[in-house]
Structure 1
């Protein structure tokens, strides 16, 4: 089978790494890929939002399966574009992808499906939104409706912060069209967890729980990033609670989308907040998380290609998906200054030494190959991932591997997994 993976991050390197282990996968292309994916397949100079070019490449190169890493191509309708070419796509159609592409759509579906979530209101008129904020209690959360690269959410502790967020999104349009409509909702207080599942449109198979670390600084301080690290399993969501949590947060969405005539096929990701009232859904993603994908796939013992084809073909209930019992920790190495301005072009050394360690895998994200060198090309550069018998040993091994890697202006959090250790 010939596979095309769309995307360029650590998640896409992890997908390529795992798919390469399938005896049914003969050749892989990654568009546009990175320095790590180039070692597993052939990178293709096509941006992930260039749907015509992706479809043309898939047609001209006899691609059997297109696997989408990021959300944008799905929201733009990559599945429909590929359907017209008769090419199989792992991921939901554009209607279902609105679960991530539109906060208003997602919250409305949650309400209709009976999923526990924060109370909310939707506004596309600035004056009405402002009047609502003037009257409501604080804190609250202001969300740009559309995709804003993970930056369109403001947790406003004061009325002034909330009004400023409305002005930035709706008047100044710092997120462009994504902020023309906003969701204003109650702020949920608690600890977060990520809960993902494969779906074939009817059946789901849950993955182990995980926990992301979005804030750039230790102790969850500073601005949010794409994710500074993750680990699995997350003690806040133990295995004994998977079934009831899935029935509360994942299954209702799958049933709702099927009833709407748009069966959800792919990966559904529920971002949960554990409040005093129990878990509530913060948001849905329609693909693997990054960096959650990296530690999750190191625990997957089954063939990822076969799982994806079962999702596409509606036969997920016929599969037994196996996960090993170890804990996996991924620590992101970023460029100092991320998520704001940061340097690029730093040479990265020590990758082979870290990768050679037992139970360690270094996933590349913001990298590019230049001759026999690997250089940085983005903000999040590497995801150093390690397996261990428990969270403590996995974390220790990940940080030992980091010591073997060097590039200028390297920054990483040293507390990845600490919340889990406290619960353990």
Structure 2
């Protein structure tokens, strides 16, 4: 039998494999009979977008030499393509490279299209920061200042993207408007709770039901100070987005090709192959990571101690996107914050092991996907002079797990279906991970 550590890693690997672009893109491409009479332009943004572009080239039903376009991905996530240009840029805070590439996408790549043309838009998580075209009157610096503050505030991804799209010239449906009158087919890999296309990468080809007033409300809720130009832009209403009933969206189709639920179901199948029953709590959990951890800890203890609501041995799976309000000197990371709080609450319970990771391979700003905890985590941390309560207060989960050797490092996974959490409960053994 595999060890708990091996079991948990196998579940993560199964979840990732189910969402790889090479597996999910082909089924959603036009058939040979559906190819347009005009041009095919491929655009996109996100951590998985370059891999999606490669899958398009590999599985295109017509002559791939007809393909052209521009896709923007995160540094280190590029994949070589033959006909589609790939640009790497910064995430989660945008940089000049992303800004310049997104400007080109609007001004050149989708300029002058006709009704005979097809725009294939490849979108995954991370696209908001990579499609960084400031609205008229705003600067890239303005967007960087607001972005950094939002990321540290504890705001949800829906709230963050609400603000982002009202400060943008390309997000919130504006990219679709620039593609008129061409047909637009958007393929989405979802990294948001609820899989709302208007939230994924701030919905560049989807009508936006939100408003400038909503964006101002988010800034007020988290007491975020913004540059004067940003506040004036929102208060004037100049940042209003095209709404879902805009005529341009009549020519747009959106397809979800990979979701957090699909990844969790793949992990559940892997668990069954290993002789474990898996229980999926939700694919859309939100809230502060440390609070979500307390609920998971209570459930795991109930299973281990009373066999309710599930029998041991089993695996509890969940996804979604929690948040971290960074108050300490650490780098945050919602999955490692979850694990520190979980380990603290479990206090060395001998039957419980867990893994939490971001499926893009990057938890927060760190090039680390997540980590593992086991019954020995609190004592091993103490041996290093690290109290879990102090680590939590300092938002330094990455520092702790690197010191313990328990970080989960995948490298760029080339997909992104949000957080993955797996808690293994087995009362037949009290042995810690080895």
* TM-score, reference length from structure 1: 0.26
Bigger fraction of residues in strand: 1
* TM-score, reference length from structure 2: 0.26
Bigger fraction of residues in helix: 2
- Point out the structure with max Rg over C-alpha: 2
